[in-house]
C-alpha cells in the first residue's frame, strides 16, 4: 500500500461523505433533552381527554401555552401543528394570566411575575393540563412534572389535580408515570 | 530506553485529510425525530449516552473509556474483539481466524493474563491460564448496551487479574429490548452472522428477552495467500429477565448456552522423524451459565447487591481438553456512614473445579483440581472539599496458590469546575499464578538430532515446567490523567502511566539431561517457570471526541507504549516470557461518523498499528467503512468493508504454543436488521 493510494482512497470516501449534503438550516439544534420533552408534550396531548366544553368546535385546535423561560422553547417547532386527536396542536407564548382561558395545555417555565402560586390559583379547576420541569411542580399543585430518572426523562403525575380539572388521563400514560399524592 | 520511531506517514496524512475534510463539510441535517416515537420509547431514551458525556465518567479518578452500543452498530464490527480496537491503551491482534491476543498496556499474547474481562458481572477468563478464549465468548452484538474499559489496576475493587485493565461488557436492560428483532449479515470473511431476539413484559413487574445468535467464519490465509484450516462457527442462545417487585428491589436472572466448532491445523513437535506431526482437528467448545442478581435500596444513601452465578465450560484445544465448573458468589454494599464519605465494601467467594484430558505433549501434574478463592474489599470515597475527592481502598484475597494477597490503592480527583478535572492514582496489584503456570509440563519444541542447533544423535525435547512455589507477579502503578469536558461539542481525555513490575515470570533453563530409558531416547532440556524478571512500562493514552454538529462525529484514540523488561540478577541465561515489543509503540484510531440526508449514515474508521515482535509483524494502516440506510422505522440495510487497504496483513505471531502464523484479509459484509 503506497501512501498515494491511501490518500486516493481516503479522499474518495470523504468526497462521498461531503457531496451527499443538502443546504443546511442555520439555527443551532436543540438539546436532546428538550426534544424528548417536546415529543412528550405531543404525547400528553394524545393521551389526555378534555371535557367537550373545552373546545369551541370539533375542529378547534389544542392550544399549548408556554409561560416563562425554558430550554424546551428551541424544540417546540418540532411539534407545532402536528395533529393529535384529529385536532392541530398550536403553540402560543403567553405573558399574562389573562390569556389562560384560550389554553388547553400550559407549560410553565422559569417565572417571576406572576409567581407559581399565582399561576396555580388562577388555573383553579380549569380543564388545562399543566406541565413543567420545575422541581416538585406536581407536589405544589401542578399536574405533570418532568424528572430525570436513571438517565431517562420520565414524569410525575398529580392525579387529584387532574381529576378536579375534569381531565382524564389514559392508563397508557399513567403506566409510565410516577404518581405524586 | 529506546528512542521512539516516528509515526508512519500514512497515519499522519490520513489524520490531516480527516481534519481538512471537516472544513469542507457542509452542515448536514438528519436528526432523529423523537415525535415519531411512541411514549414508551420516549421513556426509554437515555439522555447521557445520546450526548456522549456520561456524568459518571468525569467523576472517576481512573482511565475509563466507554464504547456505546450505537458506536458498535455504526462501526460494523461483528465481534467483541473488533469493537475493542476503538479503545486507547488496548492492544487487539488477531492471531488466526478464531484466535486473538488482547491485552491492556502491553504483555500481549493469546495467553495474555493481566486483564479482567466480564460480561454482565460474570468473569470470562479461564482459570487454567488466567486469559480469555475470545472465540468462545459472544452475545448478540445488538444486545450490548456498552463496553466499559478501565485501564490500569482495578484490583482493589475487582481483585487479582485486574492488573493492567478491566473490560466490562454490559448488555441492555430488557425494557430496552422489547418486541421482535432479527438481523443477518453475509460476507466474505464473516460468511454469516446474526440472530433473533424477542422481548415482552412479565406481568406488571418487569421484562424478559430470549435470543439466539450465530456466526460462521471463513478461514484465514497465510503470507502466501493460501487458505488455512481454521474456519469456525458459534451458536448461542440465552435469556435475561429484569424484575422490580417494588421500586427498591431489582432482580436480574440471565443465562446462556453455546456450542462452537473451531478448526485447527498445526504442526506439533514430535520425538520421531520428521519431528513434527500434523494436528488437524475440529475442536468443540461448549458452555452454559446461569446468573442471578438482587439489588436492594435500603435508603437513598444505602444500597446492596448479591450476585450468584454458575458457569460450565467444555473446551477442546490442541493436545488439551478441559471441562470446568465455576460458582461465584459476590456481595456488595454501598453506604454513607458519615457526611462526605461514600463507602463500598464487599465479600466474594469462588469455587472452581476442572478436569483436563492431557496428552504426551501437554501434561498437567494433576488432571483434576478444586480451587477456592475468598476475597473482601473496602473502599472509601472522601470529599475533602467541594472540589477535591480522595479514594482509598484495598482488597484482601486468599487463594490456593499464594495464600493471602493485599492490593491497596489511593486515588485523588481534583475538579475545580465542571469542565476540567485532574486525577492521580497509585495502586498495587498482583497477578496470582494459575493452574497452568504451577502444574504444566509443556513440550515447547523438539530440536531434531544432527541439526545445526543439536549436533548430537538424540532429539532434544524442550520442556516448559510449572512450579508449585511460584509467587505472584507484582505491580506498583502510578497514573495521572486530565479530562476536559466543556459544554461545547469537544472533549479530551489524557492519561499517563508509569508501572513498576517485579517477579514477572520467565523460563530458567536446567542443564541438558540425557534420558536413555525413555522411548525413544532423548535429551531433556527443561526450563522452569520462575519469578525472574522485572521492569518498567510507561505510556500515554489520548482520546478525543468532537461533534461539531449532531450529525457529525469525530473520535480519535492514540496510545504510546514502551516497555523495558529485564532479567533479575542471576538469571542472565533465562528466556523471557514477556517481550518488550509484544505491544505496538504507537497506535492510532480515527473514527468519523456522518448522518446524511434520507436516513443514510456513513462511518469511516482508520487505524494505524506500529510494528511489533521485533519486526516480525510490520506496522500497518487499515480502513473500515460502513454505509447504512434506514428506509423505514425498524429496518436497516448496511454494507461494511473491513481492512480495506490491504489484501491481507499479519497482526500477531503466537510463540508459546503451536499456532501457524496467519494474516487478516480484506473483507466485506452486508447486513439487514429488522425490528418490530
Which structural domains are found in chain A, ordered by start?
30-180 (3.40.50.2300)
Q: Is B676 exposed, middle or buried (0-12, 13-18, 19+ CB in 10 A)?
A: exposed
Which three cell numbers, joined as nine digits, stand for A26?
Answer: 442555520
Confidence of residue B155 (pLDDT cuts 50, 70, 90): low
Q: Looking at beta carbons, which residues of chain A come within 8 Å of B642? A: none
DSSP state at residue B82: H
How far apart CA B360 and CA B339 sit, in angstroms, is: 62
Q: What is the pLDDT of residues A9-43, one digit of tens each?
A: 555 444 444 433 333 333 344 567 888 999 999 99
Angle (nearest 5°) at CA B360 between B359 and B362:
65
| Residue of chain A whose alpha carbon sits nearest to that of B600 | A20
Q: Do B51 and A42 touch (CB under 8 A)?
A: no
Size of interface A-B (CB pairs under 8 A): 120
Of A11, A23, A82, the CB nearest to B35: A82
Q: Is B206 a domain residue? A: yes
Most confident of B45-59, B146-160, B446-460: B446-460
The three cell numbers of residue A102 are 384560550
A51-90: burial string, b at 16+ Cβ within 10 Å, e else: eeebbeeeeebbbbbbbbebebbbbbebbeeeebeebebb
Write down the pLDDT at residue A23: 33
Predicted confidence (pLDDT) at residue B636 exceeds the cutoff of 60: yes
| Residue B324, in any domain of the structure | yes
Q: B529, exposed or middle or buried, with CB in 10 Å at 0-12, 13-18, 19+?
A: buried
Q: For B218-258, how does the pLDDT look when each residue is reduced to its tens digit (9 = 90+)?
A: 999 988 888 988 999 999 999 999 998 777 788 999 999 99
ipTM: 0.78
> Given this model, what pLDDT does residue A179 score?
87
- In chain A, residues with a C-beta closer than 8 Å to the C-beta of B49 are 151
Residue B118 β-bridge partners = B123, B168
Contact A65, B62 (CB under 8 A): no
pLDDT of B59 higher than 70: no
pLDDT tens figures, B575-606: 888 888 888 999 999 999 998 988 899 999 99
Query: Helices A3-19 and B9-24 meet at what angle, rounded to 10?
Result: 20
Q: Which of B9, B26, B623 sits opposite A9 (nearest CB)?
A: B623
Q: Is residue B576 part of a domain?
A: yes
For residue B272, is it within any domain? Answer: yes
User: Among A162-166, B201-205, B637-641, whose mean pLDDT is lowest?
Assistant: B201-205
Mutation site, A4, A17, A19, interface B, largest B CB count within 10 A: A17
Domain holding B39, by residue range, is 9-675
Report the CATH number that the domain containing residue B119 is assigned in CATH.
2.40.170.20
Kindly state whether residue B2 falls inside one of the protein's structural domains.
Answer: no
Distance of alpha carbon B163 from alpha carbon B117, whole angstroms: 11
The mean per-residue pLDDT over the stretch B453-468 comes to 89
Per the prediction, chain A carries an average pLDDT of 81
Contact B550 A29 (CB under 8 A): yes
| Range in B29-38, B39-48, B549-558 with the lowest mean pLDDT | B29-38
CA–CA separation, B434 vs B128, rounded Å?
6
The residue of chain A nearest to residue B176, with distances taken between CA atoms, is A152
Burial (CB < 10 A; 0-12, 13-18, 19+), residue B56, is exposed
Name the pLDDT band for B159 (thresholds 50, 70, 90).
Answer: low
Q: Is the pLDDT of residue B272 over 90?
A: no
Asked if residue B60 has pLDDT above 60, the reply is yes
Three-state SS at A163: helix
A148 → closest Cβ in B47, B600, B623: B47
- Which stretches of chain A score pLDDT less than 70? 1-31, 151
Asked if B586 and B12 touch (Cβ cutoff 8 Å), the reply is no
8-state DSSP, A99: G
Per the structure, the count of domains in chain B is 1
Whole-number pLDDT of residue A19: 39
Query: What is the SS3 assignment for B151?
Result: strand
Ramachandran angles phi, psi of B439, nearest 5°: -130, -5
The full 3-state SS of B465-502, as one line of letters, equals ECCCCCCCEEEEEEEEEEEECCCCCEEEEEEEEEEEEE
Q: Does B602 map to a domain?
A: yes
B43–A152 CB contact, under 8 Å:
yes
Pairwise CB contact (< 8 Å): B10 & A173: no
A21 to chain B: nearest residue by CA?
B28
Residue B128's pLDDT band (cuts 50, 70, 90): confident
Q: Which of B50, B594, B621 sits opposite A32 (nearest CB)?
A: B50
Q: Taking residues B148-171, what's their average pLDDT?
A: 82
Q: What is the pLDDT of residue B547?
A: 84
B385 occurs within a structural domain: yes
Mean pLDDT lowest for which of B153-162, B490-499, B509-518, B612-621? B153-162
- pLDDT of B460 above 80: yes
The verdict on residue B3 lying in a domain is no
Amino acid at each position: 500500500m503506497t501512501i498515494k493510494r491511501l490518500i486516493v482512497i481516503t479522499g474518495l470516501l470523504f468526497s462521498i461523505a461531503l457531496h451527499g449534503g443538502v443546504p443546511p438550516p442555520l439555527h443551532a439544534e436543540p438539546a436532546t433533552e428538550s426534544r424528548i420533552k417536546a415529543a412528550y408534550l405531543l404525547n400528553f396531548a394524545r393521551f389526555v381527554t378534555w371535557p367537550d366544553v373545552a373546545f369551541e368546535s370539533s375542529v378547534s385546535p389544542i392550544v399549548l401555552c408556554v409561560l416563562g423561560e425554558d430550554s424546551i422553547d428551541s424544540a417546540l417547532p418540532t411539534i407545532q401543528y402536528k395533529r393529535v386527536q384529529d385536532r392541530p396542536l398550536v403553540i402560543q407564548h403567553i405573558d399574562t394570566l389573562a390569556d389562560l382561558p384560550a389554553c388547553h395545555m400550559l407549560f410553565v417555565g422559569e417565572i417571576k411575575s406572576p409567581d407559581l402560586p399565582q399561576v396555580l390559583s388562577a388555573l383553579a379547576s380549569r380543564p388545562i393540563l399543566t406541565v413543567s420541569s420545575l422541581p416538585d411542580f406536581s407536589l405544589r399543585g401542578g399536574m405533570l412534572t418532568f424528572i430525570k430518572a436513571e438517565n431517562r426523562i420520565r414524569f410525575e403525575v398529580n392525579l387529584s389535580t387532574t381529576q378536579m380539572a375534569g381531565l382524564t388521563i389514559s392508563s397508557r400514560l399513567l403506566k409510565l408515570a410516577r404518581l405524586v399524592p | 530506553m529506546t528512542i521512539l520511531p516516528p509515526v508512519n506517514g500514512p497515519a499522519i496524512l490520513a489524520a490531516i485529510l480527516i481534519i481538512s475534510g471537516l472544513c469542507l463539510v457542509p452542515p448536514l441535517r438528519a436528526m432523529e425525530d423523537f415525535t415519531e416515537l411512541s411514549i414508551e420509547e420516549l421513556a426509554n431514551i437515555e439522555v447521557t449516552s445520546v450526548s456522549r458525556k456520561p456524568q459518571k465518567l468525569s467523576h472517576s479518578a481512573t482511565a475509563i473509556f466507554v464504547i456505546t452500543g450505537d458506536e458498535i452498530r455504526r462501526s460494523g464490527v461483528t465481534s467483541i474483539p473488533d469493537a475493542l480496537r476503538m479503545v486507547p491503551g488496548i492492544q487487539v491482534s488477531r492471531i488466526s481466524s478464531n484466535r486473538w491476543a488482547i491485552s491492556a498496556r502491553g504483555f500481549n499474547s493469546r495467553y495474555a493474563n493481566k486483564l479482567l474481562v466480564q460480561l454482565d458481572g460474570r468473569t470470562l477468563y479461564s482459570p487454567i491460564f488466567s486469559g480469555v478464549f475470545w472465540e468462545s465468548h459472544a452475545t448478540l452484538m445488538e444486545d450490548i448496551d456498552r463496553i466499559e474499559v478501565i485501564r490500569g489496576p482495578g484490583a482493589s475493587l475487582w481483585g487479582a487479574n485486574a492488573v493492567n485493565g478491566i473490560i466490562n461488557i454490559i448488555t441492555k436492560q430488557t425494557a430496552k429490548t422489547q418486541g421482535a428483532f432479527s438481523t443477518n449479515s453475509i460476507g466474505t470473511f464473516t460468511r454469516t452472522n446474526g440472530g433473533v431476539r424477542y422481548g415482552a413484559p412479565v406481568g406488571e413487574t418487569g421484562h424478559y428477552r430470549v435470543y439466539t445468535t450465530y456466526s460462521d467464519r471463513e478461514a484465514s490465509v497465510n503470507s502466501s495467500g493460501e487458505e488455512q484450516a481454521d474456519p469456525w462457527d458459534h451458536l448461542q442462545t440465552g435469556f435475561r429477565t429484569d424484575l422490580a417487585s417494588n421500586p427498591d428491589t431489582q432482580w436480574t436472572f440471565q443465562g446462556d448456552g453455546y456450542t462452537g466448532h473451531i478448526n485447527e491445523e498445526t504442526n506439533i513437535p514430535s520425538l520421531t522423524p520428521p519431528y513434527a506431526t500434523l494436528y488437524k482437528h475440529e475442536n468443540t467448545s461448549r458452555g452454559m451459565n446461569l446468573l442471578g442478581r438482587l439489588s436492594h435500596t435500603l435508603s437513598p444513601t444505602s444500597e446492596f447487591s448479591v450476585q450468584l452465578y454458575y458457569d460450565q465450560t467444555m473446551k477442546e484445544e490442541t493436545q488439551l481438553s478441559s471441562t470446568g465448573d465455576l460458582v461465584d458468589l459476590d456481595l456488595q454494599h454501598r453506604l454513607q456512614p458519615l457526611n462526605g464519605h461514600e463507602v463500598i465494601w464487599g465479600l466474594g467467594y469462588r469455587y472452581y473445579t476442572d478436569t483436563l484430558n492431557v496428552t504426551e505433549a501437554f501434561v498437567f501434574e494433576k488432571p483434576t483440581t478444586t480451587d477456592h478463592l475468598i476475597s473482601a474489599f473496602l473502599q472509601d470515597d472522601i470529599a475533602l472539599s467541594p472540589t477535591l475527592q480522595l479514594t482509598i481502598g484495598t482488597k484482601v484475597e486468599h487463594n490456593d496458590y499464594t495464600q493471602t494477597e493485599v492490593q491497596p490503592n489511593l486515588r485523588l480527583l481534583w475538579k475545580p469546575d465542571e469542565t476540567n478535572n485532574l486525577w492521580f492514582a497509585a495502586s498495587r496489584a498482583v497477578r496470582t499464578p494459575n493452574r497452568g503456570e504451577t502444574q504444566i509440563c509443556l513440550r515447547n519444541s523438539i530440536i531434531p538430532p544432527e541439526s545445526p542447533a543439536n549436533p548430537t544423535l538424540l532429539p532434544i525435547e524442550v520442556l516448559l515446567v510449572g512450579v508449585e512455589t511460584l509467587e505472584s507477579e507484582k505491580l506498583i502503578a502510578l497514573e495521572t490523567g486530565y479530562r476536559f469536558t466543556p459544554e461545547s461539542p469537544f472533549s479530551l481525555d489524557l492519561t499517563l502511566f508509569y508501572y513498576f513490575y517485579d517477579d514477572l515470570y520467565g523460563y530458567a533453563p536446567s542443564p541438558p539431561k540425557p534420558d536413555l530409558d525413555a522411548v525413544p531416547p532423548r535429551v531433556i532440556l527443561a526450563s522452569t517457570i520462575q519469578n525472574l524478571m522485572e521492569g518498567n512500562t510507561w505510556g500515554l493514552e489520548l482520546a478525543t471526541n468532537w461533534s461539531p454538529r449532531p450529525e457529525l462525529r469525530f473520535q480519535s484514540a492514540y496510545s504510546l507504549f514502551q516497555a523495558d523488561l529485564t532479567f533479575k540478577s542471576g538469571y542472565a541465561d533465562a528466556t523471557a516470557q514477556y517481550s518488550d515489543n509484544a505491544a505496538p509503540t504507537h497506535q492510532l484510531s480515527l473514527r468519523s461518523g456522518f448522518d446524511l440526508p434520507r436516513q443514510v449514515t456513513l462511518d469511516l474508521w482508520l487505524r494505524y498499528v506500529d510494528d511489533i515482535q521485533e519486526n516480525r509483524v510490520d506496522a500497518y494502516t487499515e480502513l473500515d467503512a460502513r454505509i447504512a440506510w434506514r428506509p423505514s422505522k425498524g429496518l436497516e440495510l448496511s454494507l461494511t468493508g473491513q481492512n480495506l487497504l490491504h489484501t491481507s496483513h499479519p497482526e500477531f505471531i503466537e510463540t508459546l504454543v503451536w499456532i501457524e502464523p496467519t494474516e487478516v484479509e480484506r473483507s466485506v459484509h452486508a447486513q439487514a436488521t429488522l425490528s418490530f
